[in-house]
Structures are given as structure tokens and as C-alpha cells.
Structure 1
Amino acid sequence: MSNFDIVPPAAIAAGDATDAYFDRTVETLEHAGKNPTVVAEVTASQFPSDDWYLFAGLKDAVQLFEGRDVTVDAIPEGRLFDGGPVMRITGPYLEFCRLETSLLGFLSHATGMATAALEARTAAPDSVVLSFGSRHVHPSLGAMLERCALLAGLDGISNVAAGDVIGAEAGGTMPHALVISFGRGNQEAAWQAFDEAVDDDVPRVALCDTYDDEIEEALRAAAAVPDLESVRIDTTGSRRGDFEHILRELRWKLDRRGHEDVGIFASGGIDPAAMRELRDIVEGFGVGSYISNADPLDFALDIAEVDGDLAAKRGKLDGKKEVYRTPTGEHEIRPADEDGDGKALFERVVEDGEIVASFDTEVAAERARTDAASVGFSATAESDGPGGNRR
């Protein structure tokens, strides 16, 4: 039995992964004999801001409400939003009071990562983009990270156990440690052993910057391994210099030596700015810390109605709301009893404690692609990081 510092799933589902003041709230309301029926909403900002985020984490979040006397509506995963509620919970407050901490955690962290992944995806729409970020997060979050990457439309993941959890096959080729294990000067032996050892369906990609100049190693790999598909360049930042020039030179020299079919794959500190600069030179990217280290979005849960009466704290909008995607791609927020312009985005996900929504990552990824085009989400815009996109 492990002694990892991980809150077990049973404690999360029970509501025990909560902030202590919610326990005090339950004690106080039960002592007073109060359990109002409320409408509570999860929001990041009250009004549209033109800072677009990709909604994620809903699949985990709805499981908190299974078997509880609440009804939940939410915008679907893969939908982009720039303000207003993303979820609405209706029911007796004590049914979900202690769930708030976990609920916001599920949505906040995943939405931040998914938004960063979508920025990477849109920065190089015609390139292969793989998720390499597992090593930067707590191992218990690996499946969440990889699912966010796929939801944003990335082409593959690296974490084996995460793939088992989310039903996706992990991929990968070789680390520097493999090359180093064969010793300096024996890079060919490492590349050839890999080619002989791994299954035929594993891409033949040689890592080519372990000991010597990237271009020298890449040309040696192309000569040493028949049917080499790509060379991966992962040069550390302290030795990188002008990375674009290096890769352009590599492309030229591969082509001049008859290796036009050998692609170039770039990894190591890759972000959307680098992807925009390199996407016409390389065939693919491994993106790690830009996604895994994305800041969680600061969601909050606020009561908007109590026993049918308008209620909200200062700075928040009272009353039940609906959100719409307008025909021109705007995100519109209106009182729920007023008609909006365009498509209403809320969908029922939990009905009286029964999960009624289905979750398909490929469907969500297609929704993200369509929505990104609709709202003008573009990594070519000036950005301060994940979510800083401007229409």
C-alpha cells in the first residue's frame, strides 16, 4: 500500500476534500434548521472580457453530484467562453456545500491547461503537436493533463498510465538517457538498437543532440537508420543559440544529402511563439511545460438565488442566467427569463442526482476547433499567456 500524499477518490466524492469553513457552514445551518433551495453559479468573470478560455474538467466535476438531490446545467466541455457562468447548480444548499472546493479545483486547473493546449494547437495548425508535460505535474494529475491536451486537439500524449485511464494510447520514442547508455561516440549503436528493438508501429525517430552538434548527429542518424522518419532536436536552452537558423540549416543539409523524407521534430521549452516561428520548417512539436504549468483559471461559486429570491454578494450579478453564442461569435450573458441572441449554451448534465451527460473527448475537440474559429481564438494574436487571446 502506497504512502503517497494523495487525497483518495472516495474522500473527494464524499466531500471531505473541502475547506474547513464549509464544515463550519454545515454545522451552523443544521444547528439553525436551515437548508435553503439555492441557485449557485460557477463563474470566472461576470461580463464578457474578450479573454477566451477553453472549458474543461466537467467530466470529473459532475461525478461529485451523482446521487445528490441537485440538478446541474453547464456549458459543454470544449466550449470557449470569456465571462459569465459556466455551470449552474440548483438544489438544497447542504447537498453540495462541502463539494465547492473540489468542484472549483476540477474546473479551474483543467480549464487553464486546456486553454494553453489550444493556444499551442492553433499556433501550428498543420503540424503534429504532442503533449510532453507529464513530468511537470504531480503524477496523480497525469490523466487530467493528457485529457486536456486531447480535448484541445493535440495529436498525442506521452503518459502510459494516463492513457490507460482515459482510453488513449501513449506514444514516444527515446530519451537522451538511452543514447547516453551506449556511450559517447556510439550514437549510431543506440539509434540502430532502437530500430531493431521496438515494434514496427513505433515511429523511427532519432534524438540527435546528445553529445555533438545537432546537424552532425542528425546526418549521422539519417545515414545509420534505414527508413528513418524524423530526427528530434531537443537542445537545452543554454546551448540553443538561434534555434530557427539551426533548424533551417538542418533542413537544407538533410535535403542536399537525399534525406528529403526525414522530418524534423522540435521539443524542449516549446511555446506558441516558438511554434509560429518554426512551423514552416519542422513537421512536429513536443509541448510540455507551456501546458502543464498553465495557471488555473480563477473560478468562483456564488449563490444567485435563495428560495426563489434574487441573492448575490457585492460585485456579483444576482439571479439565474443563460449564456449564448451569437451569430457573430460573441458570448452573451442574459437573465434566464429573457431571450438571447443566438444559441443557448447551457446543457443539462445532472438531473436529480443522475448524470445525464455523456463525455467524448473527440467530440469535445471538434467543438473546440469549431468554437475557436467562431470566436476568433488565434495564437497569432498578442498574448500574455494562456487565455490572453484577443479577438
Structure 2
Amino acid sequence: MTGTPSDPTQRSQQLHQGLRGYPCEIFQFDPRIKTGWLSDRYFVRTANTLRHAGRDPVITMQVFAKHRGVLAGVYEALRLLQTQLAPGFDFAELRVETLLEGDDINTGGEDDWEPVMHVTGRYGGFAHLETPLLGVLARRSLVASNTRTVVDAARGKPIIFMAPRHDDWRVQTPDGYAAQVGGAASVSSDAAGAWWGQRGVGTMPHAMIAAFAGDTVEATLAFARYLRDEEPDVQVMSLVDYDNNAVETSLAVARAMRAEFGDGVLTGVRVDTSERLIDDSLIGDPEVWGRAKLTGVNAYLVRKMRAALDAEGFTYVGIVVSGGFTPDKIGHFEKEGVPTAAYGVGSSLLGHSRGDHGLLTDFDFTADLVQVDGKPEGKVGRTMRDNPRFVTLDWGQVDGEGSA
């Protein structure tokens, strides 16, 4: 998902059509959200205090972020409002104005604090939802924004979201969805692709090669036989850095695959050389030795692999690279025309970085009450701000689901 329309009619259509594609049940909300168990306790006590005082104000809550990036989590936030109100409150009474999933936000700079959502209604019904709603937007927008940065650097080449192993398993599905909002082409686990209907892709891990006594060729052939018998729609791609000679291993695999299956069956090879190692094929090479940093997956190694494969007629075998790829490194590869087919990127998309290379480590959202019973009300510096890009949600166009 890259780019959103600017025309108001098209924006309204995208919001309502998109939301219908993500029904309430897909998010599997914890039923304890309704009770405030997952909320900052002061919001629960605020609602209780209002009830105790006999007050039932209609308020407008304004949500904004302090970062420039890609907004994600809108559908989830709206379904949260629809299904997790306090008992006795009806979601149909809420007026929601929102930006779209995938909108660029704060494009005027990080001091813009552009409103991304206004929620208006009886505050006792949704006071407790500020905590989970902001958390949803924060995590989804972090992953989506970092993914978009990497996607832009790759100039149209596919990005494989390979982050599931780098965080709690419980966030695999929403993280994978957020990566799709940011433009990722595929994900590495079935869970990460669940919300957008994609199964995990994958080459083969080093563990598979180890299980075949360290023989990459035998492991790849066995992998190909399995896929042809059990998962014929999955493309065969081999991992070729196990012995730290990606050139020779790529050729050995390609020759063996051609001998058993013919040309075109091996679609690619992936190289994931450790950033602490120099591939054996580069050691002593007079063209590059001593002239550049040669550790990890580098341009010289990829070019050498490409030339070797092409020389034997394996032009159809793409080279996928992974391991330490940042927007800067991807941008350098693309600027230099390094012949990669796709990039695998992992933990940095989740904010596990130092905040360099254009990647974010956090993406916090803030909410303020800016209107009470139709009158301006808010702390100093936080006033109600309109957003000409807002789309007003029409609950009747969604799906008619109840608030259970």
C-alpha cells in the first residue's frame, strides 16, 4: 500500500471500502479492553469520577503524532472504537474524522503536529480507549514508516519483511500488516501476512543446510523436491553463504538444479554473509582486495556472483540480499546499479536501530481533549485544529456490525 488519493470523494471511498475489508473479528481484541484493564488507570478513574459526579460531557479528542512518517493502524483504531466502548454506550453516536491508512503525515516537518483523528462523543464511553488506541497507531506507524523508507530506497525492488524473529510473537500479525501499509512486498511468516491474505515466503534457513550435514546442494535439491510435491506454487530459492563462498556455492546449486530439473526451476539465491566475515571468493582478489570494505554482503560480492551465474547461462537466477541492510546501504546499491533482485530487511523496521539511516526508533502519538460540550477546552498550546484531508466516517457504510 503506497500512496493515498487527494480527491475527497476518493478518500471517502478508500476509507469505507478499506474498513469493510478489515472486519472487527480480524483484530481479535482482548475482551478486557472494555473494562479498562489495558488502559492507563487514570483514564478509568476519570470516567468513574465523571459518572460519580453526574456529568456526561460530549468531548472531542484530537490525536496527533510528533514524527513525520506514514500513518498506519487506522482501521484497527476505528474497530476498537466500534467494539470496545464502555457498557451502555453506542458507537453509532460517535463522530469520527480521520486521515487514511497509509497517509503521509507531518509533511511540513515534525513540528507540524498534524491532527490525524478527531473523535467526538460522550467521553464516558471511550475515555478508557485512549491508551490502546494511541498504542495501536504508534506501533503500526513506526513499522509502516520505516518500511516506507526502505521501500523508497529500493527504487521499486521488492522488500521482504523478515522481522518476526526480532520481537514478541504476539506482534507478528499487526507488524506484518503495518509493513504492507509501508509497501513491503512479502513477509517471512504466515502470521505476518494474515491480515492481508498472504502466506510467508522464504528461501531456506542455515538450519536446513546444517541438517543435511552442511551440504547446501543436497539441502536445496531436497527442498526443491519437497516444494514440487507439496507446495508447487512456491518458488525455489537457495541460501548460499553457509560455506562462506557464495560464488562457488551458487554455481554448484545452479548446476545441480539444472541437472535434475532443467533450467528455470531455481528462481534465486540468497546471500546473508555475516558482517564479521569476508566471503572467500573476495580474499586475495586483486581487483578489490585492500580497496574497499569487503565484510558482509557487499556490492563486489553480488557483482561477482552475478557474473559467475551469467557466464554459465543462469541469467534467470536472481540474487536476493539480506543481513544489515539499511536505507543508506540499499540506496548505495541502487545508485551503483548492483544487480540485486530483492532485499530482505529485519529488525531495523521495528525500530531496533540507533535512529540513524533515516529509520525511526519510536513513533509516539498524543491525544488531547480540545472541545467539551461544543465549546473550546484544552490545555495551553493544545487547541482544536481542522485538517482538510479528514474523512468523516459513516458508520452506516461500514458493515452494520454491533458493538459486541
Instruction: State TM-score, norm by structure 1.
Output: 0.77
Select 2:369's aligned residue among 283, 303, 306: 303
How far 1:349 moved relative to its partner? Answer: 2.8
Larger mean Cα displacement after TM superposition, 118-127 or 153-162: 153-162
How far 1:85 moved relative to its partner? Answer: 0.5
- Superposed CA deviations along residues 330-380 of structure 1, whole A, max 9, x for unmatched, are xxxxxxxxxxxxxx31112364xx67389xxxxxxxxxxxxxxxxxxxxxx
After superposition, residues 275-354 of structure 1 pair within 5 angstroms as 275-279=330-334, 280=337, 281-293=339-351, 295-316=361-382, 318-319=383-384, 321-323=385-387, 344-349=388-393, 351=395
Partner of 1:271: 326
Contact (CA 8 Å) 2:203, 2:270: kept in 1 or not? no
Unaligned runs of 5+ in 1: 1-6, 46-50, 324-343, 359-391
Contact (CA 8 Å) 2:36, 2:44: kept in 1 or not? no
Q: 1:285 to 1:106 in 2, by over 3 A?
A: same
How far 1:100 moved relative to its partner? Answer: 0.5
How far 1:261 moved relative to its partner? Answer: 2.0
Q: 1:16 to 1:348 in 2, by over 3 A?
A: farther
Partner of 1:106: 136
SS of match in other structure, 2:117: strand
How far 1:14 moved relative to its partner? Answer: 4.4
Query: Is residue 229 of structure 2 the alignment partner of residue 201 of structure 1?
Result: no
How far 1:135 moved relative to its partner? Answer: 1.1
Contact (CA 8 Å) 1:234, 1:266: kept in 2 or not? yes
SS of match in other structure, 1:91: strand
Query: Is residue 58 of structure 2 the alignment partner of residue 34 of structure 1?
Result: no
Partner of 1:179: 209
- Aligned CA RMSD, in angstroms, stands at 2.1
SS of match in other structure, 1:183: coil
CA distance in 2, matches of 1:208, 1:278: 20
How far 1:23 moved relative to its partner? Answer: 2.0
After superposition, residues 216-235 of structure 1 pair within 5 angstroms as 216-226=248-258, 227=264, 228-235=266-273
Select 1:258's aligned residue among 277, 301, 313: 313
Select 1:150's aligned residue among 167, 171, 180: 180
How far 1:62 moved relative to its partner? Answer: 0.8
SS of match in other structure, 2:55: coil
Partner of 1:77: 101
Query: Is residue 275 of structure 2 the alignment partner of residue 237 of structure 1?
Result: yes
How far 1:288 moved relative to its partner? Answer: 1.1
Contact (CA 8 Å) 2:153, 2:330: kept in 1 or not? yes
State the number of aligned residues.
Answer: 322
CA distance in 2, matches of 1:87, 1:229: 45
Select 2:73's aligned residue among 36, 53, 57: 57
CA distance in 1, matches of 2:311, 2:139: 47
Unaligned runs of 5+ in 2: 1-27, 83-89, 107-112, 259-263, 279-293, 352-359
Partner of 1:140: 170
CA distance in 1, matches of 2:397, 2:274: 47
Q: 1:310 to 1:357 in 2, by over 3 A?
A: farther
> Between the two proteins, what is the percent identity of the paired residues?
30
SS of match in other structure, 1:64: helix
Q: 1:258 to 1:134 in 2, by over 3 A?
A: same
Instruction: State TM-score, norm by structure 2.
Output: 0.75
Partner of 1:20: 41
CA distance in 2, matches of 1:172, 1:286: 10
How far 1:8 moved relative to its partner? Answer: 6.3
How far 1:13 moved relative to its partner? Answer: 4.5
SS of match in other structure, 1:322: coil
